[in-house]
Amino acid sequence: MALNKQTLTYKVVVSAVLIALGVGLAPFIYIPFLTAKAYPGQHMINAIAGVLLGPLWAAFIATIIGIIRNALGIGTIYAFPGGIPGGFIVGIFSYILKKIKPKTIEYAALTEPIGTVIIGGTLSVYVVAPLIGDLKVSGALIPIWFLFGISSIPGSIIGFFILKVLKYVYKRTTLK
């Protein structure tokens, strides 16, 4: 599917804003656990990006935020399996909701924990941790799911409410 110039510009600008917001919030809101840092701001960004931009753009945004956070020393390798699947799943669900019931598309934001906790947490424990030799995380599925859950659930709820506000503001400004 080819993007027209205006759509591409919109997606690039929104991506840049979300990346800046994700990196800017990172030093202030995180939960340290074992060798990982849970970051609800990433899940909020995933929820917003998945709904507004789709699965590939949301995964791209999560990847860039993860790279920058790691480069700045405020992230861990778990930023990648913990962030990318969440944004991707939200994007998939928003695509489905857009086809089935477009007025409820923002509810796709609440599916972010499926990608983060179940997919990302499992990848972290059984793929990433053994690859990097992290014995603290390797095999600790339930604690990692819990950690990713206490980060992902509030983040996705905040993202959902931000999307509701954006929808309300958009409706008010376009009706005038």
Q: What is the pTM of this model?
A: 0.89
Supply 32's token pair. 């340290």
- Give the count of alpha carbons within 13 A of 126, CB side only: 9
Ordered mean pLDDT values, 10 residues apiece, the chain (176 residues) = 81 96 85 73 96 97 95 87 95 96 95 96 88 78 88 94 94 73
Contact 165, 125 (CB under 8 A): no
Predicted confidence at residue 176, as pLDDT, reads 58
Per-domain boundaries in the chain: 35-175
Helix (H, G, I), strand (E, B) or coil at 38: strand
CATH, range 35-175: 1.10.1760
Contact 18, 61 (CB under 8 A): yes
Predicted confidence at residue 113, as pLDDT, reads 96
How open is the CA angle 130-136-138, to the nearest 5 degrees? 30
Rg of the chain's alpha carbons, rounded to an integer?
16
Phi, psi angle pair for 139, to nearest 5°: 85, -5
Supply 57's token pair. 């753009």
Distinct helix (H) and strand (E) counts, the chain: 8, 2
Contact 50, 112 (CB under 8 A): yes
Helix (H, G, I), strand (E, B) or coil at 37: strand
